Structure 1
Amino acid sequence: MLLKAIKILLSFIILIFISCKTDSKENVIKKPNIILINVDDLGWKDLGFMGSSYYETPNIDALAKEGLVFTNAYAGAANCAPSRACLISGLNTPRHGVFTVSPSDRGHTKTRKLIPIKNTKHLNDTIYTLPEMLKSAGYITANFGKWHVGDNPLKQGFDINIGGSSRGNPGKNGYFSPYNIDYIKDGPKGEYLTDRLTKETISFVKKHKDTTFFIYLPYYTVHTPIMGKEHLIEKFKNKKGIDGQNNPKYAAMIASMDKNVGKLLAALKNNGLEEKTLVIFTSDNGGIRAISHQDPLKAGKGSYYEGGIRVPLIIKWPNNITANTITNQNVSNLDFYPTLQNIVQPEKRATLLDGLDLNPILKGEKIKSRDLVFHFPVYLQSYSKGHDGSRDSLFRTRPGSVIISGHWKLHHYFEDNALELYNLQDDISEKQNIADLHPKKADKLYKKLEAWRLKTKAPLPTEKNPDYSSEFEKQQKKHQ
């Protein structure tokens, strides 16, 4: 009898163990596949769901309805390399030293009052990158497109790379095969680069659908040279433009990009991966104002007015994010790293990150109030002199820092120590500098900015440029 009782007890314990083990497996949340689409130079208002009536983006508009739209999303910087460095490292510009696309002394030497801080061209190899963190969490990582923060993404956390190197654009006539970019084989003559990168991405999805993957899809489009497919260019030539959005070649590029995003999203669905995949869609900085206006935002790429740093952002994560929702909370591409790190729980975590975890927002909650800070101790010459919408007709940006605190925004320029203060809730176009009307607010934000620069050891240009000529500068501005 005793032996029988022991056998029954052991059987019961085994059943409980098996039951608990099964329950634990069922309760484990599988890490999502992650796709981060980072379009190059796509403006805040260059999409239908953001208010454009000229550009046609039905697939991205549909994505917006399936996910969470961020109306106040910011890039980490106003032009390509520094913004991408912020996204990939999770660190603000003073921590990695990539302030611009090299060199830092852009524009005519006689129009620069200061010697700019020397620029770092690429992310240092010691920086623990976003793809490296995801590899630590068991992800297969792949890059399809523009890298621009190193010579080869394979050295900075990627298992697969198609088309990514130190190049910042596809080069002359570069959107049609034969290509000018590195790490890609030429396709059939006339093949469109955006189509090719998407084709490679979809092929990867099909091959690795039974794994957990991270895809970084930084399209070269819609960066210059502006080159679209002829039939689409003809289509938009016959469509009336509005409010500075009227370039048929640029519209053709956006249409092709949108079609390819649609192809990728369809591939996820067809391979049973839609419910298992977190998709982020954004841009690396504002659009070029000479090509496309972002009204009511001021200026464009390269400027630290809103048109240069606000970007479109959608995050879709089925069963985790409520579809067709909008948030106006201030976020930055610096936030992607900590957000994804908290989702995937890697073995090796990044210990220092400048962004915030956005998971509360993804769940419909509020995140703690924080400031967004931008530091640009270098020069960036104008695109279209007198037509960039910037403070200075000769430069998109002169050396300075910017802080956004709630609805308030303060610009501090190093050459003349000038301050510009705006209330973005009342004046999103940054038309009226109210620093003199609100000196206490300006002083408070300036002190916050100084404290941040001290904390991050942000370098300040203080050495005067001996070549500077006020008379020459005056003449240059006169001829605008």
Structure 2
Amino acid sequence: MYVEKITIIKCFFPALFFLGSCQNKPLNDQIPEKPNIVIVIADDLGWADVGYNGSEFYETPNIDKLSADGMVFTRFYPGAANCAPSRACILTGMYTPRHHVYVPQGLARGGDVSKMRWKVPTQGEDSSFNTFKVSINTVDPEFESLAEMLKKSGYISARLGKWHIGDDNQGFDAVSAAGVMGEITNYNGTEKRYYSDTLVAEKLTDAALDFIDENKNKPFFLYLAHWEVHTALAARQQRINYYQEKLNQSGNSDLDPVYAAEVEQVDVSLGRIVQKLKELKLEKNTIVIFTSDNGGVSGVTSNLPLHAGKGTFYEGGIRVPFCIKWPGVTNPGSQTDAPVNGVDFMPTFAEIASAQLPGDQPVDGVSFLPLLRGEQLELERSLFFHFPLYLGGSRDAVLPAWDGQENYWRAVPSTTIISGDWKLIYYYEYDRYELFNLKDDISEQHDLSSTKPEIENRLLDELNEWTDDVRAPIPSISND
């Protein structure tokens, strides 16, 4: 069950799958009038690579301060195991089978087609592999985004940095790919990458500060999606040298000083934004969120104690850092272990901003506003992840090929359900599943399948009902 130990008040609830954590409630239960909303998203930042989650090598004082001043979500899942589908989930409030974005570049890739059991849309293959609909890094402009929803409630919005979900800018009023307002690179189905630009985090932050300054007298929504810490890694040489010396003194050769310097760049950006809000006396009426789009890349960071990394549906690929500060609502130093998904942003922001939810598209999430108030979620629900393709990559290859070759794929066609402490991954590739108790086994080292029949049957039934409800594509044409 999700019960927090707290200093002042302790509460206990018997329901095993009752979501949320019971904490002392804030003094102020009232929602401030249309608070500003700021989301800062890192790219490929591992769950364990922030100080408040135990990192000693990576230096994140501003992220740690935000977590100490606000609330930590220990089990936040942005929506997928890669950047494009996670961002689509966050911005539309819908799971992947609704918007059809499953992986960057949209198609199965990274392995020999002969290693695939099923025919699915695949890079370099003929039309016989186009067995269901996928979207190539594009969210249909007909879907309403967070920015468009909040605009109905009087918000002005900016999206800065990495986009990765198509030519349409989804209703954002101000846009910038690398720090120059109005400059975009997402057109004709492509988008320029700035992973090697050592100044891009600073330039994007400059643009964010200007946007805040210019719109300080109206409610605003700022979506700052950094290019860091995605490979190819690049940072100022002075900071690389600093972390290299720190690494030499630690005696640990498994850490990357360039990655550490990039983590620092994101942390500095967050610190500058928080400081600007203080200077403009906006801090008390601004929600600030820090998170990542998916887990870290193995080989760059270990993700320990989580298993595997980006592209996989083990915890190392889908669980990320998340902290939020909302003065007067979130309690300093509080945390929740309720599982929360990126699709929950839309209903949460709608409730916070008194905005009307989209009427022409499903919204799969639930509002986590009760958690921010120290209460419990009223609705018992599970989280879902659906991936109908194949994804290779030697660094995080943890799954076998159809012909039995070990450690060949990062992901194969599968559906994952998380319900309370339990997680089940069903593999259509192998006609089998894995079952883990995340409370007892955060590292997913002990597969409990075939040992908990009541739990297995319940989760499998719920998983099948969900795939039917969202019309999730399940591969069925053999790749003979």
TM-score w.r.t. structure 2 length? 0.84
Change (3 A) 1:68 1:390: farther
CA distance, structure 1, for counterparts of residue 347 and residue 195 of structure 2: 38
Give percent identity, aligned residues only: 39
CA distance, structure 1, for counterparts of residue 192 and residue 236 of structure 2: 16
Match of 2:135 among 108, 115, 120: 120
CA distance, structure 2, for counterparts of residue 440 and residue 150 of structure 1: 43
Identify the residue that residue 132 of structure 1 maps to in structure 2.
148
Does the Cα contact within 8 Å between 1:170 and 1:220 map onto a contact in 2? no
1:340-359 alignment, distance < 5 Å: 340-346=349-355, 349-350=358-359, 352-359=362-369
Identify the residue that residue 443 of structure 1 maps to in structure 2.
457
CA distance, structure 1, for counterparts of residue 194 and residue 358 of structure 2: 41
Identify the residue that residue 363 of structure 1 maps to in structure 2.
373
In structure 2, what residue type is equivalent to 1:157?
A: G
1:197-212 alignment, distance < 5 Å: 197-212=204-219
1:379-418 alignment, distance < 5 Å: 379-384=390-395, 388-389=397-398, 393-418=407-432
Does the Cα contact within 8 Å between 1:102 and 1:119 map onto a contact in 2? no
Match of 1:225 among 228, 232, 236: 232
Identify the residue that residue 14 of structure 1 maps to in structure 2.
none
Identify the residue that residue 111 of structure 1 maps to in structure 2.
115
CA distance, structure 2, for counterparts of residue 348 and residue 401 of structure 1: 27
The higher radius of gyration belongs to 1
Change (3 A) 1:430 1:256: same
CA distance, structure 1, for counterparts of residue 176 and residue 194 of structure 2: 19
Deviates more, 1:400-409 or 1:101-110: 101-110
Q: 1:223 aligns to what SS in structure 2? A: coil
CA distance, structure 2, for counterparts of residue 30 and residue 347 of structure 1: 16
Match of 2:386 among 342, 355, 375: 375
CA distance, structure 2, for counterparts of residue 313 and residue 98 of structure 1: 23
Identify the residue that residue 242 of structure 2 maps to in structure 1.
235
Deviations 1:230-269 (A, max 9, x none): 0110011112368886100000000111111111110110
Q: 1:357 aligns to what SS in structure 2? A: coil
In structure 2, what residue type is equivalent to 1:39?
A: A
Residue 112 of structure 1 deviates from its aligned partner by: 1.1
In structure 2, what residue type is equivalent to 1:372?
A: L
* Structure 1 residue ranges without an equivalent (≥5): 1-26, 177-191, 467-480
1:246-325 alignment, distance < 5 Å: 246-325=255-334
Match of 1:61 among 60, 64, 78: 64
Does the Cα contact within 8 Å between 2:347 and 2:357 map onto a contact in 1? no
Residue 439 of structure 1 deviates from its aligned partner by: 2.7
1:417-432 alignment, distance < 5 Å: 417-432=431-446
Residue 172 of structure 1 deviates from its aligned partner by: 7.4
Deviations 1:189-220 (A, max 9, x none): xxx00000000000111111111111000111
Q: 1:287 aligns to what SS in structure 2? A: coil
Q: 1:210 aligns to what SS in structure 2? A: coil
Q: 1:56 aligns to what SS in structure 2? A: coil
More helix by share: 1
Q: 2:289 aligns to what SS in structure 1? A: strand
Does the Cα contact within 8 Å between 1:145 and 1:218 map onto a contact in 2? yes
Change (3 A) 1:48 1:389: farther
Q: 1:216 aligns to what SS in structure 2? A: strand
Identify the residue that residue 10 of structure 2 maps to in structure 1.
none
CA distance, structure 2, for counterparts of residue 370 and residue 165 of structure 1: 39
Q: 1:84 aligns to what SS in structure 2? A: helix
Q: 1:453 aligns to what SS in structure 2? A: helix
Residue 103 of structure 1 deviates from its aligned partner by: 3.6
Does the Cα contact within 8 Å between 1:169 and 1:224 map onto a contact in 2? no
Does the Cα contact within 8 Å between 1:243 and 1:295 map onto a contact in 2? no
1:122-201 alignment, distance < 5 Å: 122-153=138-169, 156-163=170-177, 165-166=185-186, 171=193, 174-176=196-198, 192-201=199-208
CA distance, structure 2, for counterparts of residue 425 and residue 361 of structure 1: 19
Identify the residue that residue 223 of structure 2 maps to in structure 1.
216
CA distance, structure 2, for counterparts of residue 354 and residue 347 of structure 1: 15
Identify the residue that residue 329 of structure 1 maps to in structure 2.
338
Change (3 A) 1:299 1:348: closer
Change (3 A) 1:229 1:340: same
Q: 1:81 aligns to what SS in structure 2? A: helix
Residue 175 of structure 1 deviates from its aligned partner by: 1.1
CA distance, structure 1, for counterparts of residue 255 and residue 399 of structure 2: 21
Match of 2:94 among 81, 91, 95: 91
Residue 388 of structure 1 deviates from its aligned partner by: 4.6
Identify the residue that residue 186 of structure 1 maps to in structure 2.
none
CA distance, structure 2, for counterparts of residue 315 and residue 173 of structure 1: 26
Does the Cα contact within 8 Å between 1:290 and 1:383 map onto a contact in 2? no
CA distance, structure 2, for counterparts of residue 29 and residue 68 of structure 1: 18
Residue 75 of structure 1 deviates from its aligned partner by: 1.6
Matched, 1:31 2:34: yes
Deviations 1:112-161 (A, max 9, x none): 111124421211111011110011110011111111112142xx110110
In structure 2, what residue type is equivalent to 1:270?
A: E
Residue 321 of structure 1 deviates from its aligned partner by: 1.3
TM-score w.r.t. structure 1 length? 0.84
In structure 2, what residue type is equivalent to 1:269?
A: K
Identify the residue that residue 179 of structure 1 maps to in structure 2.
none
* Structure 2 residue ranges without an equivalent (≥5): 1-29, 121-131, 178-183, 401-405
In structure 1, what residue type is equivalent to 2:307?
A: K
Does the Cα contact within 8 Å between 1:54 and 1:245 map onto a contact in 2? no
Q: 1:239 aligns to what SS in structure 2? A: helix
CA distance, structure 1, for counterparts of residue 334 and residue 433 of structure 2: 36
Q: Which runs of 4+ in 1 moved over 6 A?
A: none
In structure 2, what residue type is equivalent to 1:300?
A: G
